[in-house]
Chains A and B, each alone.
Chain A
Amino acid sequence: MFETLILILDATLRVSTPLILAALAGLFSERSGIVDIGLEGKMLGGAFAAAAAAAVFGSAWIGLLFAIGASVCLALIHGFACITHRGDHIVSGVAINTIVAGLTVTLGLDWFSQGGQTPALTGDARFTPITFPFAEQISDVPVIGLIYSELLSGHNILVYLAFAFVPATYWVVFKTRFGLRLRAVGENPHAVDTAGISVALVRYRAVIICGVLCGIAGAYLSTAHNAGFLKDMSAGKGYMALAALIFGKWRPVPVLCACLLFGFLDAVAVRLQGVSLPGIGEVPVQAIEVLPYVLTVLLLAGFIGKAVGPKAIGKPYVKERA
């Protein structure tokens, strides 16, 4: 029983990682007032770029760089449309998701001739698990041994990175001057403008950070969690990250908890497939899969707490002229 729990939690960490990265990406963007439903597309684009570059150069790190590059480019398109040209944030996000969904397969087929996939990655082209010191030796120690060797040790670097980004995001958003401006731009851009700070510049920076984090999330999907790019491999994770962002009320630590909860549900759903629970019977997998979305809707409806987003979110900022 305890071992099963540890294994589920272990899976939870692995499934939550891309959610955490993408949700934090969304946090930066949305805190600055830019709605981002393009998390999905940026992640998918990043996944493709990472797998393609890793396949060509044989290095997961170069793949990561390309993933970040591709994702930032997409983020800048989003910024160009929403910040510079005051376009609709949702429309722009949908556009990015659509373009990436088509472009990854088109380019993949042209470059690798494998029906839109990238070649299977092996060796250095993937991020491999890191085993903590003494993990082998103490794995027999009751409770702690299993937690240390199974749950904490044996993940790849991007998993640890994702968790490290949570306090880092907290610090940047709530304890730095940039973070103050970021939040101010999302709540009241006029005040920021009056203080002589460029609203557009702050928002562009936020969007770029969003791109970087989505790129890492994408690289995790194709070069760490899987061994190569598959068509539509982000499979709605970007939207789930968006749900987690709202569920966590745009704050880093609650967002982390939401991602872990959603990841846990995912891990449990896989475990419970075809298993009959005592007293309840067989729980349909779909009922668990759908919980993150149902919970988010309930939260948005105000039945469990209240989710209030940044005030100026989704509104283009028009500088007033005398």
Chain B
Amino acid sequence: MNQAKVPAWVSVGLIPLLNILLAFLVSGLVFLAIGEDPIEAAGYLIYGAFGYDEGIGYTLYYATNLIFTGLAVSIAFKAGLFNIGGEGQAYIGGLGVGLLCLWFDSSLPLIVIAPLAIIGGALFGAAWAYIPAYLQARRGSHIVITTIMFNFIASSLMVYLMVNWLKAEGVMSPISRTFEESAWLPYMHDLFSPFGLDIGDSPLNMAFILALLCCVLYWGLVWHTRWGYQLRTVGTNPTAAKYAGIDNAKVTIWVMLISGGFAGLVGVNEIMGVNHNLLLNFTAGYGFAGIAVALMGRNHPVGIILAAMLFGALYQGGAELAFEIPTITPEIVVVIQGLVILFSGALENMFKGKIEGFFLRRAAA
């Protein structure tokens, strides 16, 4: 073996970019297949997502959820674990947020409720991740399967609670009563308006700031603590970690608690920031989209923010696109999301060998 190394820009820049491009290329083919011009569609998409203030607000609002779930999937990846249960953890996290808001909205001011609800959402999400984590760490059951099962269990539990306990009086659909305004996270447009800045009404709220703080927390935890070092060691080489005296099971459980906590914060954005009541199916697939975000963001907070913005833009732009071209459904965004998972996740090695080989040979020559 020669000692030549693949340049960093190739492995972090060129190869991921190539995979994403391929995903978009195939997405373009899907547009062609349904008889639409992909360039024109991309135009609508970009305008819808970034062309005007409300659009940008919506893009960032979607991105908020995706940052939370992206971080959740990503930190578990760091320990070599696949947390496919972000959906269920976000759901139960939202339940925690909703319960706290329902209990305290008439007795406490926002300044107290907000931190309470944030901690509550994270704890509920973490608790939902704890059981699969414990079973993986101590009893050897596979975390992928158990977290899938827990998504379904969460879904049934929520239907049961909403229908039997939390449903507001006098309504048919299973939604709780609307919170008092003291339990509403402030919208960004309300925060900016006192300064004379008009950024257009959108669901973008304070949870976006929380998401950015979580990215900083992630970065600090993973790369600047002793525990983060343990985490990365377990993920890279569990056997080496064990010989180095690291308690793999403990790391597994803790990382899943943090992962579930991140996912649970989706509830803060959705329940406290936008809906202002507890309802069913507010997670809307963000847990699964988090997988695409984590993969595309290369498990780095900066990458995750960028990937979440891209997918947020796709969500918002997709809605705009469906409005402009009625023969297109917003579901086409789900196709693009799936293709990104396929090409930058499952098929990430497709070009890797060839390209790395090329640069290795060049370096050796």
Interface positions of A (Cβ within 8 A of B): 35, 37, 77, 80-82, 85-88, 90-92, 94-103, 105-107, 109-110, 113, 116, 236, 239, 242-243, 246, 284, 286-287, 289-290, 293-294, 296-297, 300-302, 307, 309
Contacts and interface: CB of A to CB of B under 8 A. Distances in A.
Contacts of A110: 34-35, 327
Interface string B140-173: 1110111011101100110110001000000000
Contact of A37 (B139, B148, B336, B350): B148
Interface of B: 30, 33-35, 82, 84, 131, 135, 139-142, 144-146, 148-150, 152-153, 156-157, 159-160, 164, 288, 291-292, 295, 327-329, 331-339, 341-342, 345-350
A104 B335 CA distance: 9
Contacts of B148: 37, 239, 242
Most central of B142, B145, B157, B341 by chain A CB within 10 Å:
B145
B338 A96 contact: yes
A46 B60 CA distance: 36
A168 to B, nearest CB: 26
Contact of B331 (A90, A91, A105, A300): A105
Nearest to A102: B334
B348 A87 contact: yes
27 contacts: A37-B148, A81-B346, A86-B349, A87-B347, A90-B84, A92-B342, A92-B345, A92-B346, A94-B288, A98-B338, A99-B334, A102-B333, A102-B335, A102-B337, A109-B328, A110-B35, A113-B327, A236-B152, A239-B152, A242-B145, A286-B156, A287-B156, A293-B149, A297-B153, A301-B139, A302-B139, A309-B142
Given A90-B82, A284-B164, A287-B160, A300 B141 contact: yes
Contacts of B328: 106, 109
B350 A85 contact: yes
A80 B346 CA distance: 9
B135 A106 contact: no
A27 to B, nearest CB: 15
Given A107-B34, A290-B157, A37 B327 contact: no
Given A86-B349, A301-B139, A116 B342 contact: no
A136 B341 CA distance: 54
A99 B131 CA distance: 30
Contacts of B345: 87-88, 91-92, 94-95
A247 to B, nearest CB: 11
Given A88-B345, A297-B146, A103 B135 contact: no
Given A94-B288, A246-B145, 8 more contacts: A37-B148, A81-B342, A85-B349, A102-B337, A109-B327, A116-B331, A293-B153, A300-B139
A103 B339 CA distance: 11
Contacts, number: 148
Given A86-B349, A90-B82, A99 B153 contact: no
B267 to A, nearest CB: 20
Nearest to B82: A90
A81 B288 CA distance: 19
A106 B34 contact: yes
Contacts of B140: 302
A239 B33 CA distance: 30
A286 B157 contact: yes
A289 B341 contact: no
A286 B153 CA distance: 9
Contacts of B342: 77, 81, 92, 95-96, 99
A31 to B, nearest CB: 16
Nearest to A282: B164
A246 B141 CA distance: 11
B153 A106 contact: no
Contact of B329 (A77, A80, A109): A109
Given A90-B84, A95-B346, A301-B135, A103 B146 contact: no
Given A106-B328, A239-B152, A301 B141 contact: yes
Given A37-B148, A82-B346, A290 B338 contact: no
Contacts of B30: 103, 106
Please give me the 3 A-B residue pairs with the lowest Cβ-Cβ distance, nearest first. A102-B334, A98-B338, A99-B338
A94 B341 contact: yes
A76 to B, nearest CB: 13
